[in-house]
Amino acid sequence: MPAGCHKDKFGAILCPDHLYSAFKYGSCLKVGETFICEEDMPAIIENQCVKIEQKTVCGQKMYELFTGETVYVDGHPFELNLPTK
């Protein structure tokens, strides 16, 4: 598997470029009280982590978050509010 890529729960391989698909209808997304903007993506992809409300979501959980799944970090749920058309 290519470096930085992960398999989703259906077995599809997701690589860093796939994370940008979350920005299909807007340049910023919201998780809880944290905004994640397209301009933040180079650092997020490089580190394979995103900081949300004093928590750090990395690796597989980060990919799940960016594909719209609820992820849990230290028992706290995070869900990406994906923009729509």
Which domain covers residue 28, as residue numbers? Answer: 6-81
The reply to whether 75 falls in a domain is yes
Cα gap 75→73, rounded to integer Å: 5
For residues 14 and 7, the answer to whether their CB atoms sit within 8 Å is yes
The reply to whether 39 falls in a domain is yes
Q: Is 51 exposed, middle or buried (0-12, 13-18, 19+ CB in 10 A)?
A: middle
The reply to whether 64 falls in a domain is yes
The reply to whether 45 falls in a domain is yes
Give the list of residues 6+ apart from residue 46 with CB closer than 8 angstroms, or none.
none
| Whether the predicted model's global pTM rises above the 0.75 cut | yes
The reply to whether 1 falls in a domain is no
Cα gap 70→85, rounded to integer Å: 21
Q: Which tens digit of pLDDT belongs to each residue from 46-82?
A: 999 999 989 999 988 998 998 889 999 999 999 988 6
Cα gap 21→30, rounded to integer Å: 15
How many domains is the chain built from?
Answer: 1
Side chain identity, residue 30? K
Q: Give the pLDDT band of residue 43 (cuts 50, 70, 90).
A: very high
